[in-house]
Amino acid sequence: MQVAAVSPPEPPSTDAFLRAVGDDGTVAPAFAAEAARLVELWRGVARIRRTSQRLVALQREGKIGSHASPIGEEGALVGAVAALAEGDWVFPSAREALVSTLRGVTAEAYVHHAFGDARDPLEGRVPPDHLCSRAARVAPPPGTLGGHLTHAVGCAWAMRNDGAVVLAFLDGAAASTGHFHDALNFAGVFRAPVVFVCRNDGRREVDAATEGGLAGKAVGYGLPSAQVDGSDAVAVLAVVSEAASRARRGEGASLVEVLTSPPLDGTLDVPVDRDPLLTLERAIDRAGGDPSRAKVLDELDQELARAAAAAVGAGVAPRSSIFDNVYRELPGHLRAQKGRP
């Protein structure tokens, strides 16, 4: 049964974003496959939430420079990444960079990265939330908003015969950039196996004149699109799975618009009725509960506390990191600059 149709290339109705979990925690029968993964989804959302809360605290303490928090939007991140197979790739922007911790990057490595310390895998070169990992198949977040979207298309084209797909995240504001147009245009022309997941945080009325919101923009590129409620990771998983399946079958790219509800008032308080963590907890409780919940949170907090403590004591990145990896071999002019005190 087709649970969460990715529509043919015509604008979706904006009447309601797709949901799987009802207010009382009941998961609609059509989403039985996804419902089997409720605990896994909750653990992912909890991991992102707790890590981001810790990074916000570290930023406010002045220990790290910045943090692009995805709090309140974790349903989009976790639901979409849960739709991937191991060989698939993810192209996040900074606000989704924490998805690398769902694919094998440890909290410790991520916190070291946020500090830019001596044990940061990127040796302090770039600000927080720009971590990438080839082992995790997570590409580098872009320098400018939306700049990675065409990278995702090129990577998808390159792997089009390998049965793998690319997941590219974008902020709704990036849907106004030329990068977005280039990416969707090239993806349509090349039938690249890529799924664009666009977070709409509710402030995107300046970014779309199209019928069907941001998702409606896909029509012009011949791509199907869908709208889904980001407070419902189950629904996100279902829709992105369907889009990924299309891509895997050689049917090309899709655009999924995910309506999220991050706190926009400077607090970390996600509206209770729009909280992806609470939505999953309601569904899990309705299905019989999860006795491991407190233990998982406790372990997460301990892991993050250890990571923060380790980062505080790790020392600064080496001066050589400024010069190394500009080119593979250090050219003469950089040898001279590196050697100069």
Binding site for other proteins (CB under 8 A): 89, 91, 121-123, 125-126, 130, 132-134, 139-140, 142-144, 147-159, 178-179, 182-183, 185-186, 189-190, 324-329, 331-333
Residue 75 CB, nearest approach to other proteins (Å): 27
Contacts of 15 (CB under 8 A, 6+ apart): none
DSSP 21-76: B-TTSPBPGGGHHHHTTHHHHHHHHHHHHHHHHHHHHHHHTTSSS-----TT-HHH
Q: What angle do CA 234, 238, 242 make, to 5 degrees?
A: 170
Residue 137 CB, nearest approach to other proteins (Å): 10
What is the torsional sign of CA 121, 123, 125, 128?
positive
Residue 297 CB, nearest approach to other proteins (Å): 31
Of the pair 158, 264, the CB lying nearest other proteins is at 158
At 95, give phi and psi (nearest 5°). Answer: -70, -15
- Entry field: residues in the chain: 341
Closest of 131, 4, 160 to residue 64, by C-alpha: 131
Residue 319 CB, nearest approach to other proteins (Å): 14
Of the pair 63, 125, the CB lying nearest other proteins is at 125
Residue 264 CB, nearest approach to other proteins (Å): 27
At 176, give phi and psi (nearest 5°). Answer: -95, -5
Which H or E run contains 263? none
Residue 53 CB, nearest approach to other proteins (Å): 26
Of the pair 2, 161, the CB lying nearest other proteins is at 161
Q: Which residue has the tokens 């569904």?
A: 283
Of the pair 74, 171, the CB lying nearest other proteins is at 171
Q: Please check whether residue 240 is in contact with residue 256, taking contact to mean a CB–CB distance below 8 angstroms.
A: yes
Of the pair 66, 325, the CB lying nearest other proteins is at 325
H-type helices in the chain, by residue range?
A: 32-35, 38-60, 74-81, 107-115, 149-158, 178-190, 233-248, 276-286, 293-312, 332-339
How far from each other are the two terminal CA atoms of the chain, in whole angstroms? 67
Of the pair 132, 280, the CB lying nearest other proteins is at 132
Of the pair 288, 333, the CB lying nearest other proteins is at 333
Residue 207 CB, nearest approach to other proteins (Å): 19
Residue 231 CB, nearest approach to other proteins (Å): 31
Cα–Cα dist 141/22, whole Å: 34
How many CA atoms does the CB half-sphere of 291 hold within 13 Å?
0
Of the pair 29, 220, the CB lying nearest other proteins is at 220
Closest of 260, 264, 272 to residue 17, by C-alpha: 260
Of the pair 40, 324, the CB lying nearest other proteins is at 324
Residue 93 CB, nearest approach to other proteins (Å): 13
